[in-house]
Amino acid sequence: MAIPFLESFASAQAARMTPPKRVVFLGGGFGFTKDTFYPNKAGRFSEIGMTEGLTPMDRHQEDITMVSNLTNLGATDPHGGSVSYLTGANVAGTPGKRFHNSISCDQVVAQHIGQETRYSSLTLSAKETDGGSNSGHGPGLSLSWDESGNPIPGITKPLDLFYKLFANPNDSRAELDSRLKKKQSILDLVRISGSGMKRTLSKRDQEKLNEYFTGIRQVEKGLERQAKWADIPKQQAPFEAPNEGLTGEEAIKLMYDMIIIALQTDATRVVSYRQPVCSLLAGMGMTLKAHSLSHYGFSQPRIIASRERDKKCSMLFAHFLDRLKEAKDIDGSRLFDNCIVSYGTNLRSGHELKNVPTIVSGGAAKNIKHGQHIILPKENTPLANYWLTLMRQADVPIETFSHSTGIIPELVS
Q: What percent of the chain has pLDDT over 70?
A: 80
Per-residue pLDDT of 78-129, as tens digits, reads 887 789 999 999 998 878 788 889 999 999 999 999 999 999 999 999 877 5
Q: How confident is the model at residue 196 (pLDDT cuts 50, 70, 90)?
A: low
What is the structure's pLDDT at 10? 44
Start-to-end CA span in the chain (Å): 35
Sequence-distant (6+) residues with CB within 8 A of 195 are: none
Q: How confident is the model at residue 1 (pLDDT cuts 50, 70, 90)?
A: very low
Per-residue pLDDT of 320-346, as tens digits, reads 999 999 999 999 999 999 999 999 999
CA gap 76, 80 in Å, rounded: 8
What is the structure's pLDDT at 98? 82
Second CATH level (architecture) for the domain 3-167+244-411: 3-Layer(aba) Sandwich (3.40)
Range list of H helices, 265-338: 278-283, 290-294, 300-326
What is the structure's pLDDT at 215? 54
Residue type (1 letter), 100: H
Q: Mean per-residue pLDDT for 178-207?
A: 56
Per-residue pLDDT of 28-81, as tens digits, reads 888 999 999 999 999 999 999 999 999 999 999 999 999 999 999 999 888 877
What is the structure's pLDDT at 182? 58
What is the structure's pLDDT at 9? 43
The total of other beta-carbon atoms located within 10 Å of residue 167's CB is 12
What is the structure's pLDDT at 15? 42
Length of the chain equals 413
The mean pLDDT value of the chain amounts to: 85
Sequence-distant (6+) residues with CB within 8 A of 120 are: 110, 111, 114, 225, 268, 270
CA gap 406, 390 in Å, rounded: 12
Q: What percent of the chain has pLDDT over 90?
A: 62
Q: Mean per-residue pLDDT for 354-365?
A: 96
The total of other beta-carbon atoms located within 10 Å of residue 116's CB is 9
Nearest CA to 149 out of 87, 75, 202, 233 is that of: 87
What is the structure's pLDDT at 204? 59
Label residue 404 exposed, middle or buried (CB < 10 Å: 0-12, 13-18, 19+): buried
Nearest CA to 273 out of 290, 286, 291, 255 is that of: 255
